[in-house]
Amino acid sequence: MTSSPSLPSWLSDATAAHLSATNADVNAVDTADPAQASGATYALANEPAKGQIRRLEPMDADGTAARLVLVVNADSSSAAVQVVLLTNESEMGSDRDTRLTPDLTGLPYDVLALFDVTAPAWYVQLGPVLATIDLDEIEFLPPAGTPVAGPEDARWNWKQDEHDSLVRLSGECARQIVDEGVDNFVDPAALDLEAVSDVELALIVRATAPLMDRGRLCMPLEALRKLDAHRVDPQSRYWESVRCLLELVPRHDDLVIAEPLDRLPIAPRAHINNDQLVVALSAVMEKMPNTYRSLGLFTLGSLWQGETLNAWETSAQSTLHLKRATSGVWEMFVSGRRHQLVVHAVDETDAQTTTASGHLKTRRPAHA
C-alpha cells in the first residue's frame, strides 16, 4: 500500500510540543477529585487495566449470562481489553489453568484462570473492579491440575462449554477487530479552517490520515469540499495538512460520505450528550452491521463548550442516554442495541491509531 503523505517537520515539531505540554498537565490531575475530572485525558478509578478481575456483561439483554474475567491487556485506542475467563469450579483445573486463591485476589473463594479461554471485549461490557492482582506474581504459580487426556476426559467438554460461554459474550468485539472495517469518523468541524488552527488541523491529520489510508475511517464529504474550496496558498501554514488529506481522497473515494454528517452545523459543539453530531453518529450506527458496536470519533476538545467530552455527570436531558463508561468512552443504545462511542480528542491526548488486534496479547503463565 502506498504510504500516507507525511507532515512537514515544522508541523510535527509543533504537534509534538503541544502533546508534551498536554501530557504534563494530565499527570498533575488529582483523579480522586471529581471537580478536576474534565477533558478527555484523566484516568478514572475504573479505567481498565491489567490484573483487574471484573464482570463481563453481554452487549445486549439476550439472556447471555455475565461471567467473571481477568483483564490481561487493555488498548485505550480501540477501547478493547483482552480477557481470560474465570470460574469457581476449581476441581476442573488442568495444566493450562492457574488457581487464584483468596490471599491473592481478596475474593472469598478460589477461582481458576483459564488461560486457554481468552477473547477481546469492549470497555462498555466491563462491570466494577472486584479485585486486582499482580500478573507477574501469578506467572510462576503451579498448574491447577493434570493435562486433559482427551475427549474421554470430563474436562474436555467442560472446557469447550466454557469457551462457548466466552464467545457468546465477546463475539461482536472479536468479529469487528478481525474485520477491520470502517468504524472511525472525523468531526466535520475539525476540518473547518475557519474554526481550527494550523496546529489543530495537523493533529487531526496525523491521527486520521493513516487510518483513512488503511480503509478504516470516513471523511465527511462537505468538510473535504470546504478544504478544497479554500484553495489554500502553498505558502500557507495550512497547506501541507490540507494537501495530505486531499491526496488521500482519490485513492479512497469510497470512504467519503455525504450523509448524515454533512447536515451538521459547525462549531461550537454542545455537550456531547445533546450535540447533533452524536445524533448523526447514531444514525450511522443504525446502518452498520450488527457485529459493529464500537465507533471512533476524532475531534478537537477546543471545539466543544465547557466540560463536554468526559463530563463527570451525564446529562439528564440526553436524548440518546449516553453514559460515560470510562475515560474517552461513552455507552449508548441505538435501536435497542448497546454501542460504545470512543472519543479521540486529539488536541487533549495523543490519539493512537493502531487496532486492538495489534496490541491485545494474552499473557500465559510460564507453566502453560
Q: Domains plus CATH for the chain?
A: 9-25+180-358 (no CATH), 52-170 (2.30.30.110)
pLDDT (0 to 100) of residue 161 = 96
Residue, of 122 and 235, whose pLDDT is higher:
122
pLDDT in tens, 295-324: 999 988 888 865 555 543 444 444 556 677
- Range with the poorest average pLDDT among 36-40, 217-221, 252-256, 271-275: 36-40
Give the residue-averaged pLDDT of 115-139: 93
- Range with the poorest average pLDDT among 158-172, 270-284, 307-321: 307-321
- Range with the poorest average pLDDT among 72-76, 327-331, 356-360: 356-360
pLDDT in tens, 201-215: 888 888 888 888 888
Give the residue-averaged pLDDT of 261-279: 72
Contact indicator for 290, 176 with CB cutoff of 8 Å: no
- Taking alpha carbons only, the member of 113, 112, 96, 100 closest to residue 147 is 96
| 353 has a pLDDT exceeding 60 | no
Residue, of 305 and 290, whose pLDDT is higher:
290
pLDDT (0 to 100) of residue 259 = 63
Contact indicator for 362, 118 with CB cutoff of 8 Å: yes
Give the residue-averaged pLDDT of 209-222: 81
Rounded to the nearest integer, the mean pLDDT of the chain is 76
pLDDT (0 to 100) of residue 148 = 94
Give the residue-averaged pLDDT of 23-39: 29
pLDDT band at 16 (very low <50, low <70, confident <90, very high): low
| 28 has a pLDDT exceeding 60 | no
- Taking alpha carbons only, the member of 186, 354, 215, 167 closest to residue 281 is 186
The alpha carbon torsion through 294, 297, 298, 300 (nearest 10 deg) reads -140
| 68 has a pLDDT exceeding 90 | yes
pLDDT (0 to 100) of residue 73 = 95
pLDDT (0 to 100) of residue 34 = 27
pLDDT (0 to 100) of residue 276 = 81
d(CA 258, CA 236): 28
pLDDT band at 152 (very low <50, low <70, confident <90, very high): very high
Cα distances from 330 to residues 30, 156, 269, in angstroms, run 22, 39, 17
- Range with the poorest average pLDDT among 43-47, 174-178, 279-283: 43-47
| 10 has a pLDDT exceeding 80 | no
What number of H helices and E strands is found in the chain? 8, 13
pLDDT (0 to 100) of residue 210 = 86
Helices 198-213 and 9-27: crossing angle in degrees, nearest 10, is 100
pLDDT band at 142 (very low <50, low <70, confident <90, very high): very high
Which sign does the torsion angle of CA 359, 248, 201, 257 carry?
Answer: negative
pLDDT band at 118 (very low <50, low <70, confident <90, very high): very high
